[in-house]
Amino acid sequence: MHCPIARSLERVGDWWNMLIVRDALHGLTKFEQFQKSLAISPNVLAKRLADLVDCGVLERQLYSEHPPRHEYLLTERGLDLRGVLLTLLAWGNKHFAPDGVSVRVMDSSSGRIAHPIVVDRATGKPLDPATTQFVPGPAATESVRRRLDHAAQQQPLVLRRARRRKPNSAASHA
């Protein structure tokens, strides 16, 4: 696939995989810890852990020789998923929290609740749909270029439609 979103989802898009990464970010490393946290069958967990190791999100390290036991540690690639999960958490809190927010992000030094957004690393400015767009990269295929050209033409229409919609009532809970 030539789309970076599709390629990424191919590797980590399974919801079990993302929950395993979430738990690894919370400090879980052992098979039994993941199994208890997720209430997942051992064969499904073993497959998902193997997939995450194969794609370089986790690394498997021996921590006991007798009996042989391994733990699963996040790689740099795995740690980079933290921002994706923070953004997904914020989106879920805004749109899918009918009973209120169950998990928030806190700034450890100030104790203040943080509100994750996506920003440009160079400028620190939020990546607002009204001021940004997807453009082809150097490796873009002709089909990717056509899709992005079409998207650029449709963007004003999409933004107008989005602005006409009433805000979701769950947004007030975020």
- The model's pTM is 0.83
Q: In terms of Cα–Cα distance, which of 85, 89, 56 is closest to 73? A: 56
Per-residue pLDDT at 97: 94
3-class DSSP assignment, residue 107 = coil
pLDDT, tens digit (0-9, with 9 covering 90-100), for 104-138: 999 999 999 999 999 999 999 999 888 888 899 99
Structural domains of the chain ordered from first start: 4-79 (1.10.10.10), 81-173 (no CATH)
Banded pLDDT at 166 (limits 50, 70, 90): low
The CA dihedral of 6, 119, 136, 89, to the nearest 10 degrees, is 10
In eight-state DSSP terms, residue 168 is P
pLDDT score for 154: 77
65-69, 79-83, 126-130: range with lowest mean pLDDT: 126-130
Radius of gyration of the chain (CA): 20
